[in-house]
Amino acid sequence: MPATKTLYPYETSYDLQLRPYDPFDPTRENVSFGWLDRGEDGDVQKMDLTGRSDWRKLTIQLDANLPGSEMKSVLTSISEWQDDTSLLVSVRCAATKFRRVVELTPGAPYTWSGDVTIRRGDVRSTVELVPLLVRATGIPTSEGTPLEGRAAQASSVIATGRALRLSIDPTNRSIRGALDIKWDAFAESDDPWRNQHRRDLFFLDPHGEEPCLWLNSSYYELKAMLDGKSTKGVDAALRHLTNGSIAQAVWMQLFMTAAGSTMETMEDEDPIPVEGWKKDVLTKFLPRLFPDEQTDEDRVQRLREMFGSPDQMATLMSLLGTAVQEIVDTGSLFEDAVRAVEEVEQ
């Protein structure tokens, strides 16, 4: 994520490691999590809790460490890692706006440990744990102080690393309720645009209070496939792949429409200065696009900067591609398609 590495006007490390282990419910001794399924996806570690409804609280043990060479690169020669730094874990749930900061305890050189407890009633959808190493003390910036390009102010972030994402509920692919979906035979449509683009599979109309997704019923096989209930075979595989393809394109269009609206309202008291479905879309995307930012206001500012800069649009589109695949859960749809075919071949 190159864009995030230009945020700090001083030496910053991105090699901070956060490792979770031994999850348990302190209120229910008979609940066993075993080893949670853990996967890695680029800049995010994942732990899957979807389908688990038997826990009230989740306590996770955490270890963190930073290579010694990295610590030396971010601290001044007059600073001590134990006295002048603090290892914080930012715990946040975008869906419920739950926020908490947990401080880990230093141990062996450049290592920290501790735990975090999350109540089931406080969170929904996904929870992110982001490790941050900050200066605990400030350095007077009087003449002659050897800053050496390092951070001097207390609370300055000097190291960060991959977040840990807990999947609490299955991914919600809808906007509020469900996206309005309608069928129309584009080849015979009264709508000029759809009629002129009769070979398109779908058309998203983002105007009005809610966006509407028009599917082309001129492709009778499309309607039969998407309405199908089979879980095995080529039809089921095609349904999963087509759903993923359409969903990715639609979410991309929804985001670009919502993001463009933020450029029209430069002054607004609301951190996310749009309303209705556009706000829902940005609320879903912004924490995924800019996980290092702590507030919606900062995320919107980053979005405006990138959206308005030709040099940064490529980076934004790259980040957007990853966020869309996460929201749609493209990987799961592909795996479902593969399983649908494999079950027939067995």
Q: What confidence tens digit (pLDDT) does each residue in 241-281 have? A: 998 899 999 999 999 998 888 877 555 556 777 788 888 88
How does residue 200 score in pLDDT terms, banded at 50, 70 and 90?
Answer: very high
Please tell me the predicted confidence (pLDDT) of residue 180.
Answer: 82
| % of the chain surpassing 90 pLDDT | 40
Domains of the chain: residue spans and CATH? 2-167 (2.70.50), 180-345 (no CATH)
Task: Work out the average pLDDT over 302-321.
Answer: 90
| Angle 159-300-267 from CA coordinates, rounded to 5° | 135
- Specify the higher pLDDT residue, 170 or 108: 108
202 CB contacts (<8 Å, ≥6 apart)? Answer: 213, 214, 215, 216, 246, 249, 250
Please tell me the predicted confidence (pLDDT) of residue 109.
Answer: 95
Looking at this protein, which amino acid is placed at residue 112? W
Distances (CA, A) of 37 to 28, 56, 165, 225, 258: 20, 19, 12, 32, 34
The answer to whether residue 141 scores a pLDDT higher than 60 is yes
Compute the distance between CA of residue 26 and CA of residue 324 in angstroms, rounded to an integer: 35
Task: Work out the average pLDDT over 48-61.
Answer: 82
